[in-house]
Amino acid sequence: MSQLVATRLGQARDRIRICSPVITSTPILGTLAELVDDESCNLLITVDGPQMAQALSQWRHDGRAAWKAPLYERIVASGRLAAKRSTPYAPGALHDYMHAKIVVCDDWVLTGSYNCSHSGELNAENILDVHDATLAEQAAQFCEKVHTRYA
């Protein structure tokens, strides 16, 4: 799933819109960092802030994954990423996460239970890969509204 998403991202020429609680998948993270550096595509990304903060903390404490943090920080520094300030997880606490799972790459929409995470590759997740300009426009508009709300 992560390779499919990364491939679609790399094929995009006009727009990319992403709503995902986290972005921790290596192929997706690396492709996004490259796209940010190339400035080759109109890119907007929305994540859940506390969930990504937790991922960053885990990466920094895991020597094998520490190299991921600078890639994510490069994406944040680009100004193309918004992070919802949800309530951090705690038993009994409010669960108000940004939990949409949509990737739009030009006229392609990828959506389902997969949330662009490394652990998503290990779970029983699913993803729909739909090539439809009308659906892509509707999904992109949704992602843009979410991004604007949390930017």
Q: What are the boundaries of each domain within the chain?
A: 2-150
Note the pLDDT of residue 89.
Answer: 87
Mean pLDDT of 24-37: 96
Task: Give the mean model confidence (pLDDT) for residues 105-133.
Answer: 90
Two tokens at 143? 């992602």
The 15-19 sheet, strands edge to edge? 81-84, 42-48, 15-19, 102-105, 108-112, 127-131
What b/e sequence results for 40-58 when a residue is b if at least 16 CB atoms lie within 10 Å of its CB, and e otherwise?
Answer: ebebbbbbbbbbbeebbee
Q: What is the pLDDT of residue 118?
A: 74
4: pLDDT strictly greater than 90: yes
* 45-99 pLDDT, tens digit each: 999 999 999 999 999 998 889 999 999 999 999 999 999 999 988 899 998 999 9
In this prediction the pTM is: 0.95
- CATH for 2-150, among 3.30.70.20, 3.30.10.20, 2.60.40.2470, 3.30.870.10? 3.30.870.10
Q: Looking at residue 62, what is its pLDDT? A: 87
Pairing of strands 102-105, 108-112: antiparallel
Average pLDDT across the chain, whole number: 94
Nearby residues of 55 by Cβ (< 8 Å), 6 or more positions away: 22, 24, 72
The tokens describing 36, both together, are 């940010």
Q: What is the mean pLDDT of residues 19-23?
A: 97
